Every structure is written in structure tokens, then in C-alpha cells.
Structure 1
């Protein structure tokens, strides 16, 4: 069944309701923010640019919750001025159940990453518990705002399943960076406004990085592995590296998720110049060729660094990013002060 793409008016209505959700909803915990991020990410990674529906299981969403909250189940505040290290409280009442479940799992099994956790037989019980919490709480209450229920995002589709409504997958894909930005900024404010976090936060200035970005230790491990794989050269300009940045090939600002196959080593100057821009055709071709030849090695490097590693997801995200840029008349970075328009030829890189 073919579904018509949302009209301009339909997309504006979606954004209006999304804005109302953030301003008029009751956020007693951070679960609703996590659910919005998870739905937007899964729409990009599993969906398509059409007006159709997208079926998701609560276990798929639960797995994304585990990945999002995994680092947040560790103490925050170590080494900060006037801070007492502790796990941040993410509920207005008792600690959020997902945080408690992950923290207990980490302590019992001594695993440092979600990837290592997935290999344990006990992980399925953790996933089942988190999926049950997701089903009972944010999935039930996310679409309640302004004193009413507006089922504009998804509806239940049987036991353990939800279905994004027609047009929602398209809108989540198109406005994914905005959804991420809104959810993350409100998430940070929610934690800061909880009085029980005052002693933990101290004079915090890196809370957002702690909540959502890879740790410095993970980036250093990623850099070490990439040096062994790619050699001592900048991915973009090809010259020898002295100092190196671990750069997101698809910019973090466009898709704020740390994925092993999306990382490359770059000169700090190349990294700053490219900034939040997609890379031009020759660089994209080189990156895709690298995925084709070194996917397994990048997976091993990522797993050792504690990063999510999935080559197909990384390709899907890149395809989504360039398609979005094409529809918006975007330009791609080739070298400092050198850009080229993103045109229809870019789609060929993903079909070759």
C-alpha cells in the first residue's frame, strides 16, 4: 500500500504537536526524552523516506534505552569542584527503574559496554525488564499533553509492538536533528532542576557530554585502533598525522550517536574545517570503500573501545544524511574552503 508523503502543512502540524509535547507534557522522569530519541533514531536506521508506517517492538526500543542509559548508570561528579560523585537521579520520585536495573547488572556482571553485556545469557532478562518498563510508562504516557491524549506519533499494534502512524516515520527522519536537540536540552534541564542532584553536579559544565557522548577513554581507545588500521595519516587530506582528532564522518551534530564505523582519524585543522558538514563525493567513496574492506576490523576496534558497531546501520545513516542534504540543497566539504553541491550523483555511491 502506497502512502502519500506528508504535505508541508502536515509537517508543520507535526512540529507544532512536537513543540506542544515538550511544553505541555508532564515530565516526571527522563523516559519520554529517551523514547523520542529512540523513535527518531530507529526511524532513520530502519525506515525509509516515504509516508508509510513503521512497526517496532518494545524490545527494539528497550535495547536502545539500554544503550542510551548505559553510561548514565555510572557515578557522575568524580573530580569536579564541589561535587560528590553519585548516580544522577532521573526521576522526581525514586530513581528511574531503568537506571537501577542497568546499574545492578553492571555491578553484578562487571561488564563495561552494552556489546559485552549482550553476549551474556542474563542480558535477555535485563532487556525484558527494560522493555516492560518502556511499555508500561513512556509508551503509555508520551502522547498525553495539554490535559488530553493526542495519538499523533504511534499506536499499539499488538503485544509488545507499536506502529508509527503514516507520515510520522518521514517526519522523524526529516527532523531527527531537531528532535534530538530538543530532547537532549530538556533532558539536561530536567536533571539540573532535580534538587537531589545538586550535590552530585557541583559546578558541572560537561553534563551533556557525560549523558550523551562517548567517554574520553573510549575515544582514545578508538584512536589507537584506527591508527593501527588506517596508518598515521589523515583520512581527509592523506598527509602524515602528528596530533589527531577522532572525527565523526557523518557529523555528530547531524546524527548525535557514537558508532564505530563512523569514526575516522583527522588533522585537527581538517576536522575544524569540515566541522558540521558532510564530506564530498571522493571522500564519501573512500569511506564506503573502507567499510567494504574493513568492516570486521572496525567492529573489533569499536567493541574494544566500548562503541556500538554496526556497519549496515552506519551506511543507512550516511544514506539518510546525504538524501536529506540533497532535498535541502546542501553542499559537501572537499577541503578547506572547497565545497561542492550535493546532487543526484551522490545516490550512486550507495547503490554501487
Structure 2
């Protein structure tokens, strides 16, 4: 087996960030598709890539499925509740409504389903993904790398029908800078929608627009919380003390690090513990229990996710956690143990993932 390519150098990583900044500054964004594509590629690099310099081949259908999840909530009417504003599906294109969004709206009306998880078992879902994949292939995949009056193919190359390949070093950079890519894409996405004049009658000043576009609904979180109480009992995952009536549904791997909801990543916590942990990774004693839990209770957690309309994939959750801890270890990060107590993230953390993979 030939040796794998090493990670890109510090200079190559800086060059990648420079081109990414140019893409946002100089690109032509007539719709929100390019922002969605960047988010999808970054997510898939975390889910499927590795911390080396190897290229990563992707099926365009995988990207199409990510588009379904990204635009699903946005296919619902948005309303502020303020006087003088109406309700409606937000326009995501400077011309006609985005074809991806229109396809999802039509599918939901026909199929009568409320979540992407329910949609996946509907007979017409494959056709929906096929249509959206064709749109993604013809538009954002074709034009994302056009900026500054030229084409700079620094992210991927087309391999023919149905396949693209992230270039050497790109998957590593998307993993390394995943929070930044997400933040930039989402911020520009929100700005694009607010700037569209056809949305003004709906939006007003719309301070919660980003939550509506990208966050899990309160109703879904409540269902997750109810399911976790039944599964784990009314105890805080971190301090193991009784919860009482008050409990937070916490992202074990922080949402700020990987802003995508996965059912196996949720735990119940005291509000105090949740606030103290904040946006940090949890210490090794918590990681050991979390890894054991998502293996032993994988099916029950998947059922909770299905009932709440949230994706459930223990393998992806485990890979995301491994990526997060490896990135933190490489940068000298610390993990939260308890209130005001932290410990260094070292190779022993990463060994937990290797040990579990060996047992599996």
C-alpha cells in the first residue's frame, strides 16, 4: 500500500484560508446554494475524511441528501409575529424561488411528512434526492469555484457523472477549519436572505433568523429531553446527580464545534453543568461513559431521534467526536471535568476511540 499523503503545511493551510476568504468576497452569490455546498463539504470532510493530506472522493448524491437536511426546515413558513409582517417561505434566490426549496415544499405537501427522517422512508424520497442532486450538480458544484472573474479549482474536481473529489489537503483543511467555514457560510446565508427585497415583508428586523434557518426547533428538543429521561433516568449525565424538573438537552460535542444535530450526541444535564461546560469538550471520564452509552443504547437513541425528527447515526457521532478530540489534542486543548476544573486532552483520549474500534 502506498504511503498516505501528509497533512498540508502551515503555509498551504494559510493559502487555503486566503482562497476561502476570496471566494466569499469575490464570488457571485445569486442564491444560497453555494453556502449550503460549503457547509455540506465541510460536514462530509469531518464525517468521512481523515487527518492526512489524502483526497476524498464523494458521491454527489451524498451532497444532495445534505441539501435536503439543510433546506428542510427552511421550507416551512417563517413568521416573526410582529405587527406589520406576514408569514411565508423565505425566498433564497434573486430570481425565482430556489429549485431545491420548491422541490422540498412540493414533496412535503404530497408526502405529508414533517421531518427528513420520516421523508427517507417515503417512496418518493429517492426521486426528491435525485432531483436535488441534479440541481446541485448543475449549479453550485459547477460555479462555486468561479470568483474574481476566473475559475480557481482549489476545492474539488469533477470525476464525471455522480462523483467529485476533494483535492489533496482540502479535506484536512475543511476538518481543521470546520467551525470557521460553518460560521462564514451561515453568516453570509443569513445576510443574503435579509438583503433579498422579496423577504422584507416577512422579516422586519428578524433577530432570530439564524436560529430558524439552522437550529433545532424547541419542540424537537423537548421530545429529545423526554426520550432521554425515559432512557437514562432523571440524572445529569455529567455530575450524575438527580435532575429534578429542570434539565438542559446538551450537545456532548459542542454545537459551536460541529453545528449539526445528531441524536446520539445529546445528553441531559443540569443547567449549571451545561453552562459550566459551555462550548468545551468533556473530560476523559465523561468521554468513556459517552462512548459506552452510544454503543450500548444505539437503537434506543436512534428511536428517540426518529420521534424528534433528528438524524441518528452512532458511527458518524463517534467519528465527529474523534475528530473534535484529535483537533483539540493537536492544539493543546483542555477538556471540562466539572465546574472550573479542566484537564489536558492527550493521546489517552484518542486511545479510547481506538480501543472501541478494536472491540467493534
**TM-score normalized by structure 1?**
0.99
Residue among 325, 332, 336 paired with 2:335: 332
The answer to whether the Cα contact below 8 Å between 1:80 and 1:204 also exists between their aligned partners in 2 is: no
Aligned residues: 352
Aligned to 1:285: 288
Aligned to 2:247: 244
| Aligned-residue offset at 1:78 | 5.3
2: CA distance, partners of 1:117 / 1:297: 20
Residue among 299, 302, 305 paired with 2:305: 302
Aligned to 1:253: 256
The answer to whether the Cα contact below 8 Å between 1:81 and 1:202 also exists between their aligned partners in 2 is: no
Structure 1 regions of 5+ residues with no counterpart?
none
SS in 1 for 2:238: coil
1: CA distance, partners of 2:125 / 2:44: 21
Residue among 166, 189, 192 paired with 2:191: 189
Aligned to 1:9: 11
Aligned to 1:147: 149
2: CA distance, partners of 1:260 / 1:270: 20
> Does residue 233 in structure 1 map to residue 225 in structure 2?
no
1: CA distance, partners of 2:80 / 2:110: 22
The answer to whether the Cα contact below 8 Å between 1:280 and 1:332 also exists between their aligned partners in 2 is: yes
| Aligned-residue offset at 1:80 | 3.9
> Does residue 262 in structure 1 map to residue 256 in structure 2?
no
Which stretches of structure 1, 4 residues or more, deviate above 4 A after TM superposition? none
Residue among 315, 320, 330 paired with 2:318: 315
2: CA distance, partners of 1:82 / 1:181: 31
2: CA distance, partners of 1:279 / 1:289: 15
Aligned to 1:178: 180
For residues 209-240 of structure 1, the C-alpha deviation after alignment (integer angstroms, 9 at most, x for no partner) is 11001001000010000000011111111111
The 3 A distance-change label for structure 1 pair 305 and 80 is farther
2: CA distance, partners of 1:187 / 1:201: 14
2: CA distance, partners of 1:140 / 1:47: 22
The 3 A distance-change label for structure 1 pair 82 and 246 is farther
| Aligned-residue offset at 1:270 | 0.5
2: CA distance, partners of 1:78 / 1:238: 39
After TM superposition, the structure 1 = structure 2 runs for residues 88-107 of structure 1, keeping only pairs within 5 Å, are: 88-107=90-109
Residue among 216, 219, 229 paired with 1:217: 219
1: CA distance, partners of 2:82 / 2:126: 36
For residues 70-89 of structure 1, the C-alpha deviation after alignment (integer angstroms, 9 at most, x for no partner) is 00000001534432110000
Structure 2 regions of 5+ residues with no counterpart?
356-360
1: CA distance, partners of 2:83 / 2:234: 37
The answer to whether the Cα contact below 8 Å between 1:274 and 1:335 also exists between their aligned partners in 2 is: yes
1: CA distance, partners of 2:345 / 2:58: 32
The 3 A distance-change label for structure 1 pair 206 and 81 is farther
| Aligned-residue offset at 1:203 | 3.3
Aligned to 2:119: 117
**TM-score normalized by structure 2?**
0.97
The answer to whether the Cα contact below 8 Å between 1:77 and 1:202 also exists between their aligned partners in 2 is: no
| Aligned-residue offset at 1:255 | 0.3
Residue among 270, 275, 280 paired with 1:272: 275
SS in 1 for 2:236: coil
